[in-house]
Amino acid sequence: MTRHMALDLGDKNIRVNAIAPGTIRTNLTAARLKDEEVAAREAELTMLKRVGQPNDVVGATVFLASDESLFITGTHIFIDGGYSIK
């Protein structure tokens, strides 16, 4: 969908990118990650052997929203501690 939208909207100078986070400690995951076995299993699935924190997502979000990414469109940034390549 990201690439399709980038193709359709590029000529209007609209950039379309996606951030694909892995397991991040948030209010939505708090109950599940409260179980230490679940949290350890989630961490083990990543190359970095930890669950992500909200601050792990901030840099990429700010980058894509800034003028530093003016020539980037149709891409996905995976912020998953390496889960997607394992």
pTM score, whole prediction: 0.87
Q: Rounded CA gap, 40 and 15, in Å?
A: 37
Q: Where are the beta strands (DSSP E) in 1-86?
A: 17-21, 75-79
Condensed to tens digits (0 to 9), the pLDDT of residues 23-57 reads: 999 999 999 999 999 999 999 999 999 999 999 99
Average pLDDT rounded to a whole number, residues 71-78: 98
| Model pLDDT, residue 82 | 97
pLDDT of residue 86 exceeding 90: no
The pLDDT value recorded for residue 66 is 97
Instruction: With a cut of 80, say whether residue 64 has pLDDT above it.
Output: yes
Q: Which has the closest alpha carbon to 17: 66, 81, 74, 67?
A: 74
Instruction: State how many domains the chain has.
Output: 1
Q: Which domain holds residue 26?
A: 2-85
CATH of the domain at 41: 3.40.50.720
78, 84 in Cβ contact below 8 A? Answer: yes
Confidence (pLDDT) at 58: 97
